[in-house]
Amino acid sequence: MRAFRSLIGVTASAVISRIAVLITLVAYGHTVPLAEYQNILLIVAIAVTLQVMFDTSSLGTFIIQKSDSGSRLEDFFSGKKISFIAGIVTVCVCSFVGMVMNAGGDVVIAAFGLGVLAASESVTRYSRWVWQVKSEFAQYAVVDWALSVNRIIYSSLVFFAGSVAWATSVVVMTSATIVSAAVIAAQRCVLRDSGPTAGRASLFEFARAATPFVLGVSLSAAYSQLPTLMLGLRSDVASGATFAAATRITQPTEIAPAALANVALPKLVGRNRGRSRIVMAQLSAAIAIALVCAASIYLAVPVISQVLNYPESLIYPVIGVLVLALPIKFVNYQLVVLAIATGLIKARVIATALIAVLTLVATWIVAPLGPVQVAVVVLCAEALLCAILCGSIMRMKRLQKRELGIDENPTLLSRT
């Protein structure tokens, strides 16, 4: 029951955070002309891409693997430095893109504000691992609630006040407050559990050790986020904006498998007995939720297009393909966590790198044909990644049984 409540709490907070992103799109969709709105959609796609590529919460995945609390304290300070550097880069890149678009002052200011939001979310979510490793998911969820309120305040100012500059000024102050509060609270929690006398690890050593974990996330961003940008470059802004709008509708549903994975990770690490039951429960839940989400999104497209103030005829075909990828993508989330828990870190990185290269090459080729063809590429990429991860996990299980002298023919993940 406690695990179920934790899952509900984490999922609810993640749902609110994704709804807050959609509220931002709604606010801009009803306050700026379509041409500027399409530019802002591309900027949102860039901000999300950087947020995923620099997702410092993956550093928490690395730190959770640590066996002693002293090393966790050392790594906390190194990870904090990296998260702040990633945040600064995000703000700079978004602002630069807004300037080179040459679409007007509001677009430039919006680019800076969206960059600040993305950076603050990445830096703040880094601190969540402190509560995740202790299974204190109430505190874990508070971070998402605070960030959601911050984004909703920003969107409300854009919509009701009609001033992007005013909204950006306010969000800079509120974001700084939230980041400071979250990092200080996490640091105090780590110090309380570890003791203030523990030393600090070298930033270079930490970055080198954490690279396999962060690289896996960065490469996944390459095939899940970069197609939007490549479509805008190879085709036109309208095509890129259409694909960005469609992905902003489908990708928020990924919070469900992500929440399942976050709750399961501490249980799977260093555990052999009962792992099969946990994995099968995770996969079953992921598939069931994916089917519900896919059907709901496809049926709700007319309403969503009106809310976003974006032409339904443009996004309907793209969403029709993207929802087909949801069940596979939801399963992939659980397979990635299982791969991490069983030590297949390098295999995960290699698989993700292969998928990223193939996806980007295929996207570059088909981008001039339109966003629907790019959506088909994304669908194929998810299916291929699922096959590779399943094969790697099954191979690892066979090797383990061979080392133990057990002669069995395990079925797909049934005895993992």
pLDDT tens digits, residue range 108-142? 888 899 999 988 888 888 877 777 666 666 777 78
> Residue 43 pLDDT > 80, yes or no?
yes
Domain stop point among 158, 178, 207: 207
**Phi and psi based region of residue 412 (left: phi greater than 0; alpha: psi -120 to 50; beta: remaining):** beta
> How many domains are there within the chain?
2
Domain stop point among 207, 237, 263: 207
Structural domain includes residue 215 = no
Residues 202, 326, single domain; the answer is no
Residues 109, 76, single domain; the answer is yes
CB crowding 123-151: b at 16 or more within 10 Å, else e: bbbbbbbbbbbeeebebbbbbbebbbebb
Classify residue 254 by its DSSP letter.
G
Residue range(s) defining the domain that contains residue 197? 1-207
Residues 59, 95, single domain; the answer is yes
Residues 329, 181, single domain; the answer is no
Q: What is the dihedral of CA 177, 32, 248, 82, to 10 degrees?
A: -30
pLDDT tens digit sequence for 271-327 = 566 677 777 888 888 899 999 999 999 998 888 888 888 888 888 899 999 999 999
End-to-end CA gap in the chain: 24
- pLDDT at res. 400: 64
Structural domain includes residue 329 = yes
Structural domain includes residue 83 = yes
Cβ–Cβ < 8 Å for 87, 120 = yes
Structural domain includes residue 368 = yes
Residues 246, 115, single domain; the answer is no
- As separate numbers, helices (DSSP H) first and strands (DSSP E) second, the chain gives 16, 0
- pLDDT at res. 412: 45
Q: What is the dihedral of CA 351, 357, 361, 367, to 10 degrees?
A: 80
Structural domain includes residue 220 = no
Structural domain includes residue 309 = yes
Residues 90, 155, single domain; the answer is yes
**Separation of alpha carbons 310 and 318, rounded Å:** 13
pLDDT bucket at 330, cuts 50 / 70 / 90: very high
Give the number of other CB atoms < 10 A from CB of residue 367: 22
pLDDT tens digit sequence for 386-412 = 999 888 888 877 776 676 665 545 554
> Residue 217 pLDDT > 80, yes or no?
no
pTM above 0.75, yes or no: no
Residues 269, 387, single domain; the answer is yes
Structural domain includes residue 214 = no
Structural domain includes residue 190 = yes
Residues 279, 179, single domain; the answer is no
Residues 369, 412, single domain; the answer is yes
Residues 53, 171, single domain; the answer is yes
- pLDDT at res. 414: 47
Residues 394, 317, single domain; the answer is yes
Domain stop point among 207, 237, 264: 207
Residues 191, 277, single domain; the answer is no
